Amino acid sequence: MNRNRFPKVHIAGQIGDGYSNPMAQLLGTKSSDPRADLFDLVGARIAQTSYSQKHCVTNEEMNRRVNGPERLNSSSMACNLKRPKLRNGGELMRRQMETVGVKVSINQRQKAMPNKLIGMCESEVNQLVGELGELLDESYPTDLIARETIQEAPHFNARTAADLLECVNVFTSVLNETVPPITGLMPKASTDRELNHGLEEFSAATHGFGMTATVLYAQQMERIATAMIDECEVKKENTSPWTGN
Protein backbone atom coordinates (compact mmCIF):
# COMPACT_ATOMS: atom_id res chain seq x y z
CA MET A 1 0.00 0.00 0.00
CA ASN A 2 1.17 3.54 -0.73
CA ARG A 3 1.64 5.19 2.68
CA ASN A 4 1.76 8.62 1.04
CA ARG A 5 -1.83 8.25 -0.06
CA PHE A 6 -2.92 10.87 2.48
CA PRO A 7 0.16 13.15 2.63
CA LYS A 8 -1.62 16.18 4.13
CA VAL A 9 -3.50 14.32 6.86
CA HIS A 10 -2.12 13.72 10.34
CA ILE A 11 -2.75 10.07 11.21
CA ALA A 12 -2.97 9.19 14.90
CA GLY A 13 0.10 7.22 15.93
CA GLN A 14 2.15 8.19 12.89
CA ILE A 15 5.73 9.18 13.67
CA GLY A 16 7.52 10.22 10.50
CA ASP A 17 7.16 7.25 8.18
CA GLY A 18 6.64 4.90 11.11
CA TYR A 19 3.83 4.16 13.55
CA SER A 20 3.62 3.80 17.33
CA ASN A 21 0.60 2.72 19.36
CA PRO A 22 0.44 4.16 22.91
CA MET A 23 -1.08 0.92 24.21
CA ALA A 24 1.67 -1.43 23.00
CA GLN A 25 3.90 -1.10 26.06
CA LEU A 26 0.94 -1.23 28.45
CA LEU A 27 -0.23 -4.55 27.01
CA GLY A 28 3.24 -6.02 26.59
CA THR A 29 3.12 -6.25 22.82
CA LYS A 30 4.33 -4.35 19.74
CA SER A 31 2.73 -1.77 17.47
CA SER A 32 1.34 -2.87 14.13
CA ASP A 33 1.04 -0.26 11.39
CA PRO A 34 -2.68 -0.17 10.44
CA ARG A 35 -1.95 1.59 7.15
CA ALA A 36 -0.95 -1.78 5.70
CA ASP A 37 -4.58 -2.97 6.01
CA LEU A 38 -6.41 0.33 5.62
CA PHE A 39 -10.13 0.41 4.88
CA ASP A 40 -10.73 4.09 5.60
CA LEU A 41 -9.56 7.12 7.57
CA VAL A 42 -12.04 8.56 10.07
CA GLY A 43 -12.01 11.90 11.85
CA ALA A 44 -11.76 11.87 15.63
CA ARG A 45 -15.07 12.04 17.51
CA ILE A 46 -13.91 13.55 20.80
CA ALA A 47 -10.55 15.15 19.97
CA GLN A 48 -9.94 18.74 21.06
CA THR A 49 -6.84 19.21 18.96
CA SER A 50 -6.24 22.13 16.63
CA TYR A 51 -5.16 20.00 13.68
CA SER A 52 -7.08 17.59 11.50
CA GLN A 53 -6.31 14.18 12.96
CA LYS A 54 -7.50 10.98 11.33
CA HIS A 55 -7.74 7.46 12.68
CA CYS A 56 -7.13 4.32 10.67
CA VAL A 57 -9.94 1.79 10.36
CA THR A 58 -8.65 -1.51 9.02
CA ASN A 59 -10.35 -4.25 7.05
CA GLU A 60 -10.04 -6.53 10.08
CA GLU A 61 -11.72 -3.96 12.31
CA MET A 62 -14.58 -3.69 9.85
CA ASN A 63 -14.98 -7.44 10.02
CA ARG A 64 -15.05 -7.34 13.83
CA ARG A 65 -17.75 -4.69 13.79
CA VAL A 66 -19.92 -6.45 11.23
CA ASN A 67 -19.44 -10.10 12.18
CA GLY A 68 -18.54 -9.71 15.86
CA PRO A 69 -20.75 -9.13 18.93
CA GLU A 70 -22.30 -5.91 17.56
CA ARG A 71 -23.37 -7.34 14.19
CA LEU A 72 -23.61 -3.84 12.71
CA ASN A 73 -25.25 -3.51 9.32
CA SER A 74 -23.73 -1.68 6.38
CA SER A 75 -25.80 1.48 6.93
CA SER A 76 -24.63 1.75 10.53
CA MET A 77 -21.04 1.23 9.46
CA ALA A 78 -21.37 4.01 6.91
CA CYS A 79 -22.68 6.29 9.67
CA ASN A 80 -19.89 5.21 11.98
CA LEU A 81 -17.32 6.10 9.32
CA LYS A 82 -19.00 9.49 8.93
CA ARG A 83 -19.94 8.81 5.33
CA PRO A 84 -22.51 11.19 3.76
CA LYS A 85 -26.06 9.89 3.65
CA LEU A 86 -26.96 8.42 0.27
CA ARG A 87 -30.06 6.64 -0.94
CA ASN A 88 -28.00 3.56 -1.80
CA GLY A 89 -25.33 4.13 0.85
CA GLY A 90 -25.85 0.75 2.48
CA GLU A 91 -25.42 -1.07 -0.82
CA LEU A 92 -22.27 0.91 -1.65
CA MET A 93 -20.81 0.06 1.75
CA ARG A 94 -21.63 -3.64 1.33
CA ARG A 95 -19.88 -3.71 -2.03
CA GLN A 96 -16.80 -1.99 -0.65
CA MET A 97 -16.61 -4.41 2.26
CA GLU A 98 -17.06 -7.40 -0.02
CA THR A 99 -14.03 -6.32 -2.07
CA VAL A 100 -11.86 -6.75 1.05
CA GLY A 101 -13.49 -10.02 2.10
CA VAL A 102 -15.95 -8.71 4.71
CA LYS A 103 -19.28 -10.44 4.17
CA VAL A 104 -22.44 -8.66 5.33
CA SER A 105 -25.83 -10.29 5.58
CA ILE A 106 -28.48 -7.93 4.20
CA ASN A 107 -31.08 -8.95 6.76
CA GLN A 108 -28.86 -9.45 9.80
CA ARG A 109 -30.15 -7.94 13.03
CA GLN A 110 -27.91 -5.54 14.90
CA LYS A 111 -27.05 -6.26 18.53
CA ALA A 112 -25.72 -2.77 19.35
CA MET A 113 -26.17 0.82 18.30
CA PRO A 114 -23.13 2.65 16.91
CA ASN A 115 -24.07 6.12 18.17
CA LYS A 116 -22.78 5.71 21.73
CA LEU A 117 -19.30 6.14 23.22
CA ILE A 118 -18.22 2.84 21.70
CA GLY A 119 -19.05 4.29 18.30
CA MET A 120 -15.41 5.36 18.29
CA CYS A 121 -13.02 3.35 16.17
CA GLU A 122 -10.34 1.26 17.87
CA SER A 123 -7.56 3.70 17.01
CA GLU A 124 -9.30 6.56 18.81
CA VAL A 125 -10.03 4.29 21.76
CA ASN A 126 -6.30 3.56 21.96
CA GLN A 127 -5.59 7.28 22.08
CA LEU A 128 -8.33 7.88 24.66
CA VAL A 129 -6.97 5.20 27.00
CA GLY A 130 -3.44 6.49 26.45
CA GLU A 131 -4.54 9.96 27.58
CA LEU A 132 -6.38 8.40 30.52
CA GLY A 133 -3.11 6.71 31.50
CA GLU A 134 -1.32 10.05 31.44
CA LEU A 135 -4.00 11.55 33.70
CA LEU A 136 -3.63 8.65 36.13
CA ASP A 137 0.14 9.19 36.23
CA GLU A 138 -0.19 12.92 36.81
CA SER A 139 -3.33 13.42 38.87
CA TYR A 140 -4.65 10.20 40.44
CA PRO A 141 -4.46 10.53 44.26
CA THR A 142 -2.84 7.13 44.81
CA ASP A 143 -1.28 7.94 48.20
CA LEU A 144 -4.46 9.54 49.54
CA ILE A 145 -6.56 6.53 48.50
CA ALA A 146 -4.07 4.17 50.13
CA ARG A 147 -4.10 6.21 53.36
CA GLU A 148 -7.89 6.38 53.49
CA THR A 149 -8.18 2.65 52.84
CA ILE A 150 -5.85 1.84 55.72
CA GLN A 151 -7.82 4.17 58.02
CA GLU A 152 -11.14 2.57 57.02
CA ALA A 153 -9.76 -0.96 57.49
CA PRO A 154 -7.77 -0.99 60.76
CA HIS A 155 -7.11 -4.74 60.45
CA PHE A 156 -5.03 -4.07 57.35
CA ASN A 157 -1.29 -4.39 57.84
CA ALA A 158 1.77 -4.59 55.63
CA ARG A 159 1.29 -8.36 55.22
CA THR A 160 -2.30 -8.15 54.00
CA ALA A 161 -1.39 -5.24 51.72
CA ALA A 162 1.45 -7.35 50.30
CA ASP A 163 -1.00 -10.19 49.69
CA LEU A 164 -3.27 -7.76 47.85
CA LEU A 165 -0.34 -6.60 45.73
CA GLU A 166 0.54 -10.19 44.87
CA CYS A 167 -3.05 -10.91 43.77
CA VAL A 168 -3.16 -7.80 41.59
CA ASN A 169 0.23 -8.68 40.08
CA VAL A 170 -1.05 -12.11 39.11
CA PHE A 171 -4.24 -10.60 37.68
CA THR A 172 -2.24 -8.15 35.57
CA SER A 173 0.04 -10.95 34.41
CA VAL A 174 -2.95 -13.03 33.30
CA LEU A 175 -4.36 -10.09 31.34
CA ASN A 176 -1.01 -9.46 29.65
CA GLU A 177 -0.86 -13.03 28.39
CA THR A 178 -3.56 -12.22 25.84
CA VAL A 179 -3.84 -9.28 23.47
CA PRO A 180 -7.00 -9.55 21.36
CA PRO A 181 -7.05 -8.21 17.80
CA ILE A 182 -7.05 -4.40 18.15
CA THR A 183 -6.14 -1.93 15.42
CA GLY A 184 -2.52 -0.85 15.73
CA LEU A 185 -1.43 -3.70 18.02
CA MET A 186 0.19 -7.08 17.45
CA PRO A 187 -2.20 -9.69 18.91
CA LYS A 188 -0.97 -12.53 21.06
CA ALA A 189 -2.71 -15.54 22.57
CA SER A 190 -2.29 -17.44 25.81
CA THR A 191 -2.47 -21.22 26.08
CA ASP A 192 -5.99 -20.92 27.51
CA ARG A 193 -8.29 -20.88 24.49
CA GLU A 194 -11.39 -20.16 26.55
CA LEU A 195 -9.70 -17.11 28.08
CA ASN A 196 -8.57 -15.94 24.65
CA HIS A 197 -12.10 -16.20 23.28
CA GLY A 198 -13.67 -14.43 26.26
CA LEU A 199 -11.25 -11.50 26.16
CA GLU A 200 -11.55 -11.25 22.38
CA GLU A 201 -15.34 -11.03 22.60
CA PHE A 202 -15.10 -8.44 25.39
CA SER A 203 -12.57 -6.39 23.44
CA ALA A 204 -14.57 -6.51 20.22
CA ALA A 205 -17.76 -5.40 21.99
CA THR A 206 -15.98 -2.33 23.41
CA HIS A 207 -13.65 -1.60 20.46
CA GLY A 208 -10.62 -2.35 22.58
CA PHE A 209 -11.60 0.01 25.40
CA GLY A 210 -12.63 -2.68 27.86
CA MET A 211 -9.40 -4.61 27.50
CA THR A 212 -6.97 -1.69 27.60
CA ALA A 213 -8.80 0.16 30.39
CA THR A 214 -8.91 -3.00 32.53
CA VAL A 215 -5.13 -3.44 32.24
CA LEU A 216 -4.62 0.26 32.93
CA TYR A 217 -6.61 0.16 36.15
CA ALA A 218 -5.04 -3.13 37.21
CA GLN A 219 -1.67 -1.41 37.04
CA GLN A 220 -3.10 1.49 39.04
CA MET A 221 -4.27 -0.99 41.68
CA GLU A 222 -0.68 -2.24 41.87
CA ARG A 223 0.42 1.29 42.71
CA ILE A 224 -2.30 1.65 45.33
CA ALA A 225 -1.36 -1.67 46.96
CA THR A 226 2.31 -0.63 47.01
CA ALA A 227 1.36 2.69 48.61
CA MET A 228 -0.74 0.80 51.17
CA ILE A 229 2.31 -1.23 52.18
CA ASP A 230 4.28 1.98 52.68
CA GLU A 231 1.41 3.51 54.65
CA CYS A 232 1.22 0.45 56.92
CA GLU A 233 4.94 0.69 57.62
CA VAL A 234 4.60 4.37 58.53
CA LYS A 235 1.62 3.58 60.75
CA LYS A 236 3.60 0.83 62.48
CA GLU A 237 6.54 3.16 63.15
CA ASN A 238 4.23 5.80 64.61
CA THR A 239 2.39 3.39 66.89
CA SER A 240 3.29 3.81 70.53
CA PRO A 241 4.43 0.54 72.16
CA TRP A 242 3.15 1.80 75.53
CA THR A 243 -0.41 2.66 74.52
CA GLY A 244 -0.89 -0.22 72.09
CA ASN A 245 -2.51 2.12 69.55
Quick one: average pLDDT of 205-225? 93
Give the lowest-confidence range in 37-51, 130-144, 223-237.
Answer: 37-51
Residue 156 within a domain: yes
Q: Are residues 106 and 131 in the same domain?
A: no
Residue 2 within a domain: no
- pLDDT value of residue 109: 67
Distance CA 165, CA 41 (A): 42
Residue 47 within a domain: yes
Q: Are residues 75 and 166 in the same domain?
A: no
Q: Are residues 92 and 133 in the same domain?
A: no
Are 219 and 136 contacting, i.e. CB atoms less than 8 angstroms apart? no
Residue 66 within a domain: yes
Q: Are residues 126 and 222 in the same domain?
A: yes
What are the backbone angles phi and psi of residue 85, rounded to the nearest 5°? Answer: -70, 130
User: In the predicted model, what is the mean pLDDT of the chain?
Assistant: 83
Q: Are residues 19 and 76 in the same domain?
A: yes
Distance CA 36, CA 57 (A): 11
Q: Rounded to an integer, what is the distance from CA 231 to the centroid of its chain?
A: 31
- pLDDT value of residue 9: 65
pLDDT at 42 over 60: yes
Q: How many domains does the chain have?
A: 2
Residue of 172 and 44 predicted with greater confidence: 172
Residue 1 within a domain: no
- pLDDT value of residue 6: 46
Query: Can you say whether residue 82 is alpha, beta or left, with left for phi > 0 and alpha for psi between -120 and 50 degrees?
Result: left
Quick one: average pLDDT of 186-212? 93
pTM score: 0.78
Q: Are residues 69 and 101 in the same domain?
A: yes
Give the lowest-confidence range in 24-33, 104-113, 133-142.
Answer: 104-113
Measured between its terminal Cα atoms, the distance across the chain in Å is: 70
Quick one: average pLDDT of 94-101? 83
Residue 55 within a domain: yes
Residue 5 within a domain: no
Residue 4 within a domain: no
Q: Are residues 230 and 174 in the same domain?
A: yes
Q: Rounded to an integer, what is the distance from CA 234 to the centroid of its chain?
A: 36
| Structural domain boundaries enclosing 181 | 122-238
Q: Are residues 197 and 157 in the same domain?
A: yes
The share of the chain scoring above pLDDT 90, in percent, equals 46
Q: Are residues 165 and 215 in the same domain?
A: yes
pLDDT at 3 over 50: no
